[in-house]
Structure 1
Amino acid sequence: MTSTEPVAPITTDDYAARMRRVVADASAAGLGGLLITPGPDLVWLTGYQPTAITERMTMLVLVPDQEPTLLVPTLERPDAEGAVGAPALSIVDWPDGADPFARAATLIPGTATLGIADSAWALHLLGLQDALPQTSYRSLTTSLPMLRAVKDAQELARLAAAGAAADATYEQILGVRFAGRRETEVAADLARLLREFGHEQVDFTVVGSGPNGANPHHEAGERTIEVGDAVVLDFGGLMHGYGSDTSRTVCVGEPTAEIREVHEIVRLAQQAGVDAVRPGIACQEVDRAARRLITEAGYGEQFIHRTGHGIGTTTHEPPYMIEGEEQPLVPGMCFSVEPGIYLAGRFGVRIEDIVTVTEDGGRRLNNTGRELRVVE
């Protein structure tokens, strides 16, 4: 799929099906219901994203054998009614000056254990506990970590389109001059290209040149890029509401033998991680496959982060490719595979693709070359 191809809309029926599924998942997890506040879970379940997230409580209540209900401030009701998923909901509002927790208490089983969105304000959780003292609460990450992890065909199409747009951005950035320019200038080029290729939102444009590349989350700064620098490029955002995230490392001018060697180790480790992907294996096996190769090459202590993270309506979400994560891979899961080596004070190398689990293995959603490219 190219970045310009349309994707099918997500309909009211799609949102209704998602709400039914997560209610069933919650029951299977021993929960009496779910409370979803503004954030990625609310968008995924209803298509509704409040224009401003304030202290006024907005909350989707999902309880077995009860119509899905969205509790909103009165002044935000018109926006909620305009959401694609709104016809599948009962919308209840509360006016300024009223007690939203008393209103919520009429919708929630008074003695249940409930899953609550990680994005909920502490103010709201404490208010619910006061209004419903016999209820208890568990975070969604703890109780339903795979809530959004398995993507359907529409979601995969969106992720593929976002990946293709990020790939097109990388191909174009290779023709931009690096030497003599500040990291922030190259980062601005990345942001511009992501938007030109269809992203509605740019979330990050990491440009880590020379010693800055040894910091995995380096923010593009005022350092002037020099000939001989290895430069880590890590960029992405949202397109059709779904994320892109890719990393490549380039060299300004002819690379040293050491840069070539380290880059090749990371390339092979990334390939090993992708090759390990198949249904039924634990997430940690992807991390082990990539980490083993880097460790055997003598750089284990310089690989300082997990091998990957899930991606969907947010850039980082479950599942995570890290030692100790025994969640089995399932077709439709999407996550990054991004090993790296970071030599403090000198340079870093990272290579990252988004991969989706298929029925018999894994498929990359990023398809640009992983060889070390030389830029001017």
Structure 2
Amino acid sequence: MKLNRRSFVKWASLSPAIALPMISCASSENEAEGKKMDGVKPLNLNIQPISKEERLSRIAKAQQLMQEQKIDALFLEPGTSMKYFLDFDFFLSERMVAAVIPAKGDIAYICPGFEQDKVEELVKFGNKVLTWEEHESPYALTAKLLRDIGTPNQKVAIEERCRFFLYDGIKSETARINFVNGDGVTAGCRIFKSPAEIALMQAANTATLEAYKILFDSLYEGMNQYDFRDIASEAHRKLGFSGSIGANFGEWSAFPHGSSKTQTLKPGDIVLADGGCTVEGYKSDISRTIVFGEHNDRQKEVWDVVKEAQTAAFELAKQPGTTCEQMDAAARAVIDQAGFGPDYKYFSHRLGHGIGMDGHEWTNLVRGNDTPLQAGMCFSNEPGIYIVGEFGVRLEDCFYMTENGPEYFTQPSPSVEKPFA
């Protein structure tokens, strides 16, 4: 059965979760029809932004963690963590714009004098903005701020993605202070998602899965990976979101993150697609592997092994006390036993990564990580087999931990013929 634009809209209108038949090779008429995406409307997902009250609770938790770890303050520059705690977003340049959250007391911001008005517009938590002029040192200003707020433990945490020159400049002005990695505070908060965060991630995953349905209905012989990406972006846009999905065809699907070479889709090719979107700062991440046209026995064999590995890992997550490395081992054992081992030979990456406001964040489902799965943690579950010179298969769905075990944001593909549950 071949799917065209009209048949997709008919199927999708019945149920957003309905399974699509085997992906067939579209005609040139279907190509033009798919690109138009007629009938695709924005999704109504009842999206609720993170509240001011929740951000205040995040700040309070960070301060509690600092006190427990005998840290005097947390230094942030614009990025995900600053957005997470303070709902503050600013571009990066050679000029310092930063915030300091003390273990006790009021939040302070540091910026160039000529940016003060703009920064004050953006500040939502705290009201202290310290400025430095172009001939002055922001590092000396930061050192003075740290002295003023008090550093009885002589320990200040630096957010992990803070650029080195800022850390180095501050350190040169405050020789008595010991600077430490801020993960104990930032990850200590961000790794555990609240119900509001889970809801936003669910919206992001729902939107991306709908984009996939449109995208797979728009495949046509002769398209390249850049055409694929453009259709994916347009599908997200039509649905009301900003997102992207990339793909690799045929033998290039054996590169886990693809090839830069131009690829042309032809019947019988594996299509390995991977991507997501952002909803109120929260990410989705989904991979699907299909065959454009009829699959062969080899493709189905490999696809089925990867599916079994994904299932084995998820089932293990249902057992209390399961650790991150045990998840990886469970999936890897299935792949090894099927003859696609040993170790990283064909399953060449970890099983999964944490996800939230960053597409990849704490913590990873990987050997050596004995962190137990806990409620609020979110991960990708994405085993793969990559056979260079032939093709690759990866299946990725993200899940979150509840008090009663794991729950998927998106239901995994049932079979190589049915990419959607």
Q: Would the TM-score normalized by the shorter structure come out above 0.5?
A: yes
- Hey, what does 2:92 align to over in structure 1? 53
Equivalent residue in structure 1 for 2:279, among 239, 261, 264: 239
The 1:80/1:366 distance shift into structure 2, 3 A limit, reads farther
Q: How far apart are 1:143 and its partner, in Å?
A: 6.8
- Cα distance in 2 for residues equivalent to 1:199 and 1:59: 29
Q: How far apart are 1:135 and its partner, in Å?
A: 1.4
Question: SS at the partner of 1:107?
Answer: helix
Question: Is the counterpart of residue 186 in structure 1 residue 243 in structure 2?
Answer: no
- Cα distance in 2 for residues equivalent to 1:261 and 1:276: 23
1:1-376 to 2 correspondences below 5 Å: 3-50=43-90, 52-83=91-122, 86-108=124-146, 109=150, 112-141=154-183, 145-200=187-242, 202=243, 204-218=244-258, 221-278=261-318, 280-300=321-341, 301-367=345-411, 369-373=413-417
RMSD across aligned C-alpha pairs, in angstroms?
2.1
What letter is aligned with 1:293?
V
- Cα distance in 1 for residues equivalent to 2:332 and 2:88: 40
Q: Is the 8 A contact 1:182 1:221 kept in 2?
A: no
Q: How far apart are 1:251 and its partner, in Å?
A: 0.3
What letter is aligned with 1:90?
K
Q: Is the 8 A contact 1:355 1:364 kept in 2?
A: yes
Question: SS at the partner of 2:165?
Answer: helix
Question: SS at the partner of 2:198?
Answer: helix
Q: How far apart are 1:144 and its partner, in Å?
A: 5.3
- Cα distance in 1 for residues equivalent to 2:387 and 2:168: 45
Q: Is the 8 A contact 1:272 1:289 kept in 2?
A: yes
Q: Give the count of matched residue pairs.
A: 371
- Cα distance in 2 for residues equivalent to 1:263 and 1:362: 23
CA-to-aligned-CA distance 1:188-230 (integer Å, 9 cap, x gap): 1112112222323x3x532111111111111565211121111
Question: SS at the partner of 1:82?
Answer: helix
Q: How far apart are 1:29 and its partner, in Å?
A: 2.9
What letter is aligned with 1:262?
V
Q: Is the 8 A contact 1:23 1:64 kept in 2?
A: yes
Q: Is the 8 A contact 1:331 1:357 kept in 2?
A: yes
Q: Is the 8 A contact 2:228 2:246 kept in 1?
A: no
Q: Is the 8 A contact 1:33 1:112 kept in 2?
A: no
The 1:224/1:326 distance shift into structure 2, 3 A limit, reads same
Question: SS at the partner of 1:34?
Answer: strand
The 1:348/1:218 distance shift into structure 2, 3 A limit, reads same
The 1:159/1:7 distance shift into structure 2, 3 A limit, reads same
The 1:345/1:359 distance shift into structure 2, 3 A limit, reads same
Question: Which runs of no fewer than 5 residues in structure 2 stay unpaired?
Answer: 1-15, 17-41
- Cα distance in 2 for residues equivalent to 1:357 and 1:87: 30
What letter is aligned with 1:127?
G
CA-to-aligned-CA distance 1:260-305 (integer Å, 9 cap, x gap): 0000000111111222224532111211121111111111320000
Q: How far apart are 1:92 and its partner, in Å?
A: 2.5
Question: Which runs of no fewer than 5 residues in structure 1 stay unpaired?
Answer: none
Q: Is the 8 A contact 1:310 1:319 kept in 2?
A: yes
Q: How far apart are 1:172 and its partner, in Å?
A: 1.3
- Cα distance in 1 for residues equivalent to 2:221 and 2:118: 48
What letter is aligned with 1:277?
A
Q: How far apart are 1:176 and its partner, in Å?
A: 1.1
- Cα distance in 2 for residues equivalent to 1:29 and 1:295: 42
Q: Is the 8 A contact 2:63 2:104 kept in 1?
A: no
TM-score of the two chains, using structure 2 as the length reference:
0.83
Larger deviation, residues 145-154 vs 297-306 = 145-154
- Cα distance in 2 for residues equivalent to 1:180 and 1:374: 23
CA-to-aligned-CA distance 1:139-172 (integer Å, 9 cap, x gap): 2347754431111111111000000001101111
The 1:3/1:146 distance shift into structure 2, 3 A limit, reads farther
Q: Is the 8 A contact 2:77 2:98 kept in 1?
A: yes
Question: SS at the partner of 2:368?
Answer: coil
The 1:161/1:221 distance shift into structure 2, 3 A limit, reads farther
- Cα distance in 1 for residues equivalent to 2:260 and 2:227: 9
Question: SS at the partner of 1:373?
Answer: coil
Q: Is the 8 A contact 1:249 1:372 kept in 2?
A: yes
Q: Is the 8 A contact 2:156 2:179 kept in 1?
A: yes
Larger deviation, residues 359-368 vs 346-355 = 359-368
The 1:30/1:290 distance shift into structure 2, 3 A limit, reads farther
Q: Is the 8 A contact 2:272 2:289 kept in 1?
A: yes
- Cα distance in 1 for residues equivalent to 2:272 and 2:154: 49
- Cα distance in 2 for residues equivalent to 1:7 and 1:81: 27
